[in-house]
Structure 1
């Protein structure tokens, strides 16, 4: 760090109300928001005053293709967890003068604007227990259909939550790999059926009609299934809660299936695609299918 940079940070600390301030850029779907919260929680444990820049949700708030909304749903999913918002001045001045976008987070010096993505998955796992204990959407958000499905999932000892990410990942993506077609999900369903007696598959997706046409049509009459199509993108946090109550999971390239396991029981069986496999491959309850 240069002398100029060191003096600049000292000057910023004098004009900012909060010392050791770290402003974290927040964006993306609920899984991404959870990961940014985990980053903030980690920094708070280290003595930083953490605030968030949530301006992306007003300025953009859409998926990669600009089609499906990405709402700021973290407060609805985790009402007891604080996520203080930075002022316009705080985020503007720090973003301009000390924007730490990449590198070793151990090298961060406050006051700072954290404008990158970093390796947040490890932090989500590290703070899983705290997230699990506070994952409690208010009952006002649950429709009668949601309550009915939740009760059914809880009754069924072999419920399997299947997340089918379509939308912006319906085509190949440089960061997420090849798009997953029906074949992957049908193979995963067969894999679950070899390990669980008479499982019931609960499908969650931003394109439920695609599931009905491409997956359900290829299921035998003996395979129990429910396509959960009552919640749109604006109620994805309810779908995540319902899925997290399942007893096994099939994940797509997207993070919802993985986060459902994290926010439910992380020892439960999960199947992941090789293009986006995040869990420990030595875990006997983690199956990675080649795609």
Structure 2
């Protein structure tokens, strides 16, 4: 009890001191957004910051996760800070370690999605540091996502992936995102992983609806694709398993976006790739129990639920 009162007193003193610094112009009230996870989590967190940025608020991003952790939930697959590799044109400012630690002590605001579905967090005023995860406001993907993100030059690709990109452009290409890793089992935010039968049915559907499709598989579990999924597909398909690995998720995102159509799974990579894609007649296939399909509600595409 005494310890908590002491901490509260310290926070109050720091808060009053910081308000004085703001008043005399040696500090600027800021929204700091903590970043973590893969390329799509980084994109999502960047968009959260842009909601405040568009109101004229100073926004900075904390990158400590990539310095001290940089792994998925299971601690297996690497998670690098790749946002600026994928989108080098972004106006990005990182928070200093001092500001991050100070804000964490005095101005921390923790999101609790999916338990908390309110979007009232968008009304927060600086100074604040946003930690955790937040429910998406309806305008996050349209128009904000479309305004902020667009495909960059192929220069972000290495030689091998430039070759794959050329193949994708020259084919009636279908991206198949097979997310495994830390989403191969139940996750509170995503639910259960999609079944292998979902991929079979989605591939059969695309095979029937398109002419000469070529399927490009993107996965963090190549063995699952090659040893479990491909052998049970009942129709003959032309395909390629792309082998970039989790450390090149931003490259897979680029290649998925270049495909004509997308078959998605749990997680965001396939969906974000579809949102980035320029084909306005694209089909985007989603699982019927996927909680993220709302992001296509206003998108220029045909959403197919399997």
Contact 1:161-1:201 at 8 Å conserved across structures: yes
Give, in whole Å, the separation in 2 of the partners of 1:279 and 1:44: 21
Contact 1:250-1:257 at 8 Å conserved across structures: yes
Secondary structure of the 1:180 match is coil
**Structure 1 segment 82-231 matched on structure 2, within 5 A:** 82-102=91-111, 104-120=120-136, 122-133=139-150, 135-136=151-152, 139=155, 141-156=156-171, 158-219=172-233, 222-229=236-243, 231=244
Deviations 1:114-162 (A, max 9, x none): 11321347424322333343x32662x5233211111111111x21101
Secondary structure of the 1:96 match is helix
Establish whether residue 286 from structure 1 lines up as the match of residue 303 from structure 2: yes
Aligned match of 1:240: 253
Aligned residues: 282
Give, in whole Å, the separation in 1 of the partners of 2:273 and 2:38: 14
Deviation at 1:214, TM superposition (A): 1.3
Establish whether residue 38 from structure 1 lines up as the match of residue 47 from structure 2: yes
User: Cα gap change, 1:205/1:216 in structure 2, threshold over 3 Å: closer, same or farther?
Assistant: same
Contact 1:16-1:90 at 8 Å conserved across structures: no
Deviation at 1:106, TM superposition (A): 4.1
Secondary structure of the 2:109 match is coil
Moved more, 75-84 or 272-281: 272-281
Deviation at 1:32, TM superposition (A): 0.5
Give, in whole Å, the separation in 2 of the partners of 1:240 and 1:213: 24
**Structure 1 segment 71-86 matched on structure 2, within 5 A:** 71-86=80-95
Aligned match of 1:259: 272
Contact 2:18-2:27 at 8 Å conserved across structures: no
Contact 2:175-2:218 at 8 Å conserved across structures: yes
Give, in whole Å, the separation in 1 of the partners of 2:105 and 2:93: 20
Deviations 1:54-103 (A, max 9, x none): 10111211111111011100010011112211111211111111112246
Secondary structure of the 1:213 match is helix
**Structure 1 segment 260-275 matched on structure 2, within 5 A:** 260-265=273-278, 267=280, 268-275=282-289
Give, in whole Å, the separation in 1 of the partners of 2:34 and 2:127: 14
Q: Please report the TM-score for the alignment, with normalisation by the length of structure 1.
A: 0.88
Aligned match of 2:62: 53
Deviation at 1:263, TM superposition (A): 1.1
User: Cα gap change, 1:163/1:15 in structure 2, threshold over 3 Å: closer, same or farther?
Assistant: farther
User: Cα gap change, 1:47/1:100 in structure 2, threshold over 3 Å: closer, same or farther?
Assistant: same
Secondary structure of the 1:127 match is helix
Give, in whole Å, the separation in 2 of the partners of 1:249 and 1:221: 18
Moved more, 5-14 or 39-48: 5-14
Contact 1:21-1:50 at 8 Å conserved across structures: yes
Q: Please report the TM-score for the alignment, with normalisation by the length of structure 2.
A: 0.84
User: Cα gap change, 1:281/1:191 in structure 2, threshold over 3 Å: closer, same or farther?
Assistant: farther
Contact 1:279-1:286 at 8 Å conserved across structures: no
Give, in whole Å, the separation in 2 of the partners of 1:282 and 1:111: 33
